[in-house]
Structure 1
Amino acid sequence: MITLTRTDSSNPDFVALVKLLDAYLSEKDGREHDYYDQFNSIDKLKNVVVCYENGAAVACGAIKGFDAVAMEVKRMYTLPASRGKGLASLVLTELETWAVELGYKTCVLETGKRQVEAVELYKNRGYSLIPNYAQYIGIENSVCFQKTLGSN
């Protein structure tokens, strides 16, 4: 059985999944991971979704305020053994729904070009490429996306 839980960054299952995410990204990005790591603090995330499969935490994601109309999607991760089941899409949909409930109109996000599966997920979920924003301007490995909420 799949369940989604809305929580915050103090959730121990979220913390554990993020540690695995960071290890994965460190392996994928090598030394470049140090640059990204400074922007990935989870200390104060108020809007976190954890996906459970048969009671075990298997995927997560979060949103945080980006500007007056947009939330930024952060810390998306699915355990390798649970990939290919649509769980990331479920988490992302729940995050988007939550953003709408909070009055936001769009979601933005950054991911690495080497995270091919993540890039495909966002494209398939209706996200469009945008110029790199904020701290990602000029970062070769970064790719940024935006989606108007309420669209497929």
Structure 2
Amino acid sequence: MLEALIVLLTVAAMEVVSILAHKYVMHGWGWGWHRSHHEPRAGWFELNDLYAVFFAGLAIALIAAGSHGYYPLQWIGAGMTAYGALYFIAHDGLVHRRWPFNYLPRRGYLKRLYQAHRLHHAVGGREGCVSFGFLYAPPVAKLKRQLRQGAAGKGRAPRS
């Protein structure tokens, strides 16, 4: 039971880590890798995928360390792996359609998640983006308001 709780808490913590990493690393000093995600993809992979490789390697290292006596690291690594799977399904699959099939959500949480991430890409660059979460999406009306305010302050309109 404790192990399941550790996994679930790690999944929740990873969303917070991802929001912060996305906003301050990927849209900051790590823009060199992340830029590829904000440009048209010229193939199956993009340089931004190296972030997933990094976090997968970290999760593997934690699982290995935990299975060699450093409890509960394996369960933290398992939570990171579960988060990575959810990220792949929701972000890469649903939003960016890197799956072999299309699904466009019409209502509820998935529609809000889809719209929030599309609004993240609305500005066409590094600055002025909104909604840095991958599994959490603020209300769409709030994000649109933030985009309008940011664009008005810079004298431009967001990309649709």
**TM > 0.5 fold call:** no
Q: Highest Rg: 1 or 2?
A: 2
Structure with more of its chain in strand, by fraction: 1
Structure with more of its chain in helix, by fraction: 2
Higher relative contact order (CA 8 A, sep 6+): 2
